[in-house]
Amino acid sequence: GLDISALLKTTGDTTLDVGFVNTASCTSEITYIDGDAGILRYRGYPIEQLAEKSTFLETTYLLIYGELPSPSELEAFDQRLRRHTLLVEDMKNFFDGFPRDAHPMSVLSSAVSALGTFYQDSHDPHDPEAVEISTIRLLAKVPTIASYAFRKSQGQSLLYPDNNYDLVENFLWMTFGQPTENYEMDPELAKALDLLFILHADHEQNCSTSTVRLVGSSEANLFNAISAGIHALSGPLHGGANSAVLTMLSQIQRDGGDVKEFVRRVKNKEDGVKLMGFGHRVYKNYDPRAAIVKKTAHQLFEKAGPNPLLDLAMELEQTALEDDYFVERKLYPNVDFYTGLIYESMGFPSNMFTVLFAIGRLPGWIAQYREMITDPATKIGRPRQVYTGSPARDYVPSSER
């Protein structure tokens, strides 16, 4: 019942845009999305081409430095990252301090923030060298921290990185390796995870990226801005959707597998139930990342054997795509609809799914922070509001209340 136009008159030229549905907060050269056409490009390159031909390491370089690397540039970048994967030994105290059932996403964000305390020499956001070394440290150490968060939750000892491995393989080794056993790297598993990281690597001004930019706009250092981004990603409406999808599929299966009944409940908004993994603020068409993930899921499960939850997911997708409720609202599967199934088949527990998203999104957050901090047009982020509270009134002494 708010008369917005009247409010606007009283608040000068302030515009109310709840959830920033129509407001651009910056200009950016990093990622292009056309939500109606289902197009996503990093630095101009279509996501389909990067998914097929690039690697996560190369895509990371592309996002952060703006161009695809030459072979020698990529080699130098790879070697540099490999030298920075270890954590300061004192960092281990943090992992010891968390309760075993702590959510790994909270462990990750806290540890990234803590990591910054060991590198106070590189906090100046306007010193390009400081930002560069912080970039390398974060890219190299976040997978180590993520694997430690996992092992902590499993009650397992922490493994040192093996820098003969590349970034993604090293993460798999530190996560699933055992100190007394030979670890056999599964190249197909590493390749599938690498692909998922590419698909998550940037997505312009989503909730977590906007958080990184907003925190960074106060000239907070890169570690603190990234830690804030991880917190933003943890919610079920953002990065947490991938594990929420699996919970939803398992629940439908436990209830007898009646997809139509579940869709009916969603449409009636019973108990606020949503079709998790569906809908997107920007895509009003099939999320191009979801199409690639779906294909990957099929390839993986062809080898691993049938998965009843995949069948359920496909039935759910088909039912929704043929239903007026979803058609009218332009709700299509987003990237998270099929990723949880893949992560589970790789051996990750569901509370690690969002951590995997964070590893993938890290290059995007860093690229966006660097663009923001070097853009002369940047100002501290400070939205306005439309005040709807009480008009001026006089203080009432407590004896008269």
Q: Which stretch binds ligand ACO (CB under 6 A): 93-101, 107-115, 173-181, 333-341?
A: 333-341
- Establish whether 36 is a catalytic residue: no
Per DSSP, what are the bridge partners of residue 40? 33
How many Cβ atoms are within 10 Å of 316's Cβ, its own excluded? 24
For ligand ACO, the closer of residues 298 and 329 by Cβ is 329
Q: Which stretch binds ligand ACO (CB under 6 A): 46-54, 68-76, 271-279, 365-373?
A: 271-279
CA dihedral 37, 234, 144, 198 (to 10 degrees): 0
Catalytic residue among 280, 323, 324, 375: 280
Scanning the structure block, which residue is given the tokens 């491995």?
Answer: 165
CA distance 286 to 278: 10
Contact between 329 and ligand ACO by CB under 6 A: the answer reads yes
- Establish whether 336 is a catalytic residue: yes
Contact between 371 and ligand ACO by CB under 6 A: the answer reads no
Q: Which stretch binds ligand ACO (CB under 6 A): 53-61, 78-86, 301-309, 327-335?
A: 327-335
Q: Which two tokens stand for residue 93?
A: 């105290």
Shortest gap between Cβ of 207 and ligand ACO (angstroms)?
A: 7
DSSP class per residue in 4-47? HHHHHHHTTT----GGGSS------SSEEEETTTTEEEETTEEH
Amino acid code (one letter) for 262:
F
Instruction: Say if CB 245 and CB 340 are below 8 A apart.
Output: yes
> Cα–Cα distances in Å, from 274 out to 41, 237, 374?
29, 10, 40
Contact between 335 and ligand ACO by CB under 6 A: the answer reads yes
- How does 83-96 read in b/e, with b if 16+ C-beta sit within 10 Å? ebbebeeebeebbe
Contact between 229 and ligand ACO by CB under 6 A: the answer reads no
Shortest gap between Cβ of 334 and ligand ACO (angstroms)?
A: 4
Q: Which stretch binds ligand ACO (CB under 6 A): 47-55, 61-69, 232-240, 311-319?
A: 232-240
For ligand ACO, the closer of residues 90 and 270 by Cβ is 270
For ligand ACO, the closer of residues 244 and 346 by Cβ is 244
Site for ligand ACO in 236-255 (CB under 6 A): 237-239, 241
Shortest gap between Cβ of 242 and ligand ACO (angstroms)?
A: 8
Tell me which residues are annotated as active site.
Answer: 280, 336
